[in-house]
Amino acid sequence: MLTFFHPHELNKHIHTLKKEGKRIGFVPTMGALHAGHLSLLEASKSACDISVCSIFVNPTQFTNPEDLAKYPRTEKSDSALLEKAGCDILFMPDQQEIYAREKPMPITFNALTQSFEGASRPGHFEGVARIVRLLFDCVQPDEAFFGLKDYQQCLVIDELVKQLDLGITLHFIPTKREPDGLAMSSRNQRLNSKQREAAPVIYRTLLWAKDQLGNYTAAELEKACIARIEEEAALRVDYFKFADARTLEPVSVWKKDMLLIALAAVFAGDVRLIDNLLLK
């Protein structure tokens, strides 16, 4: 595995690979890697000749400076994991160098970046779009891989690629879970034992909601789901909502033929966990 820190050096190397006709797959991450990240790498390895992973804890997507400061940083073990998993190139860009390449962003996301994660974390998706665009510019991928755990992020990246006409094929990969159902996340390492024990109720509740769709109105079911999660003293719900899975418009009335998703964000102390489930 080759490791690059300087965007221009990676760019030069990628240029050579492309001249050789290699197809480049890209998995952007913020590190503290787990099996969820590795499933994205696996997908890239099966689809592409060369797989590039990046590790960059991007300051512009954090609204809370404490969350940024506490974000786990485990570059050494991450690098070893990636090497073992067969990653070809690791990119850990220098912050100043990568942001020095920034150009104006001629796109509008409208409502997509304002709801759910965007409402709870103002500016988050603008920060995500800025860095993903810069990383795409350095890596020049043919295909890129993102996790459905960050469902709203998948829609934002889809818009980014379409509006900038980047010609990158996107793959959205199912969420990897712990045996008890908790969605794998780098933030899970920050849970204490009580919070960790309580956290699987989030996924259990998403599954329960899927089962109960016909029995409640959307508002009643949201309320019932919030109550189920908050029965755990260690957890506080930020939001639990149903939305149209294509637009993320909140759903108040069940409609036939609608692609429906349930989205949840839950605080365990100061650790914020998100999860979602496509319901139909």
Binding stretches for ligand AMP (CB under 6 A): 29-30, 36-37, 39-40, 146-147, 149-150, 173, 175-176, 183-186
Contacts of 155 (CB under 8 A, 6+ apart): 112, 248
Q: CB-wise, 136 or 218, nearer to ligand AMP?
A: 136
Least distance (Å) from ligand AMP to the CB of residue 164?
A: 18
Q: Is the dihedral of CA 133, 134, 137, 142 positive or negative?
A: negative
Least distance (Å) from ligand AMP to the CB of residue 225?
A: 21
Contact (CB, 8 A) for 177 and 183: yes
Least distance (Å) from ligand AMP to the CB of residue 20?
A: 27
Q: CB-wise, 30 or 134, nearer to ligand AMP?
A: 30
Opening angle at CA 122, ends 30 and 149, nearest 5: 45
Contacts of 63 (CB under 8 A, 6+ apart): 121, 122, 123, 124
Least distance (Å) from ligand AMP to the CB of residue 12?
A: 25
Write the CA distances from 140 to 39, 47, 73, 90, 231, integer angstroms: 21, 16, 26, 14, 47
Q: How far apart are CA 213 and CA 262, in angstroms?
A: 11
Q: How far apart are CA 87 and CA 73, in angstroms?
A: 19
Least distance (Å) from ligand AMP to the CB of residue 75?
A: 13
Active-site hit among 6, 13, 37, 171:
37
Q: How far apart are CA 117 and CA 264, in angstroms?
A: 10
Q: CB-wise, 184 or 268, nearer to ligand AMP?
A: 184
Q: CB-wise, 221 or 264, nearer to ligand AMP?
A: 264
37 is known as an active-site residue: yes
Q: CB-wise, 40 or 202, nearer to ligand AMP?
A: 40
Q: Which residues are catalytic?
A: 37
